[in-house]
């Protein structure tokens, strides 16, 4: 049960970071800014991808341990 709580927390965090990343990207695009080198946007994207990778890695681990598919 603790593993499922951890998985849910990771999923929630991934959604928050993805939302932040997309919000920043949309804000920059609407302002007509070139955001290719934007530090905050790059950091948000990196955090989102790291959390997403951890989420799916943990999900794969749970599936291999329990034999159940999500």
Domain extent for 51: 2-66
- The CA distance from 3 to 26, in Å, is 34
C-alpha distances in Å from residue 31, one per residue of 3, 36, 38, 42, 45: 42, 14, 13, 17, 19
- The CA distance from 45 to 65, in Å, is 30
What is the pTM for the complete model shown? 0.61
Does the structure show a pLDDT above 80 at 5?
A: yes
Does the structure show a pLDDT above 70 at 68?
A: no
How many domains does one find in the chain?
Answer: 1
- pLDDT tens profile 11-51: 888 888 888 888 888 887 788 877 666 777 788 788 888 88
**CA nearest neighbour of 10 among 56, 62, 61:** 56
Local confidence band at 54 (pLDDT 50, 70, 90 cut-offs): confident
């Amino acid at each position: 049960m603790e593993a499922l709580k951890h998985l849910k927390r990771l999923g929630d965090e991934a959604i928050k970071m993805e939302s932040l990343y997309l919000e920043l990207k949309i804000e920059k695009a609407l302002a007509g800014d070139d955001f290719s080198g934007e530090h905050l946007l790059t950091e948000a994207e990196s955090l989102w991808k790291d959390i997403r990778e951890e989420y799916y890695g943990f999900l794969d681990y749970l599936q291999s341990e329990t034999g159940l598919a999500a």
